[in-house]
Structure 1
Amino acid sequence: MNHKNTKLTLVSKIMHILSFLSIIGILAMMTLNFFIKGHLHGDFEIGFNIKSKQVYIFSTLISIILISTILSNILSKLDSKRHKQHY
């Protein structure tokens, strides 16, 4: 029982690390592709531009965040149920 509990916490920690690294990757992509355009007429643009190859990376990182968050939530619920049954 204790062995399964350590496996669940290890997988949960790995999911948290993957989410964190994916968020850092998304922020890095947004920072590197950030632009500000200002004109004398009063037109002003601010944003970030993602090129075609970067769309796949961006989408993959977002899906990694979603999957790891869902999996981490499921693991924490399993762990809490296991603690309730044990005590």
Structure 2
Amino acid sequence: MKYISKLKDLKELTLKDHRHITKACLPNINKLTDLEYLDISKNSMLPEDLFVLTDLHKLKQLFISTDKSEIEFADELQKLKDHFPDCDITVY
């Protein structure tokens, strides 16, 4: 991830289904300030870990996953929507 984080003007990043993608990668993902699309579903990250992503102001689509039911996840999802106000969040 540290090499990917050096890419300028990167708009789309799919890291779906990579078990080595963990919350330790988030600071590097946060450097990708031009991202508009990010798929980090089905990896070793929890949705609550994503609040460290504070510099992705252009993000329009975010794909995440959770083992929680829709009811169990409702409050967390709302907090994520508040954190990424201009972003469509899809949960698997």
In the superposition, the TM-score normalised over structure 1's length comes to 0.26
Specify which structure has the higher proportion of helix: 1
Give the number of the structure with larger relative contact order, counting CA–CA contacts within 8 Å between residues 6 or more apart.
1
What's the TM-score, normalizing by structure 2?
0.25
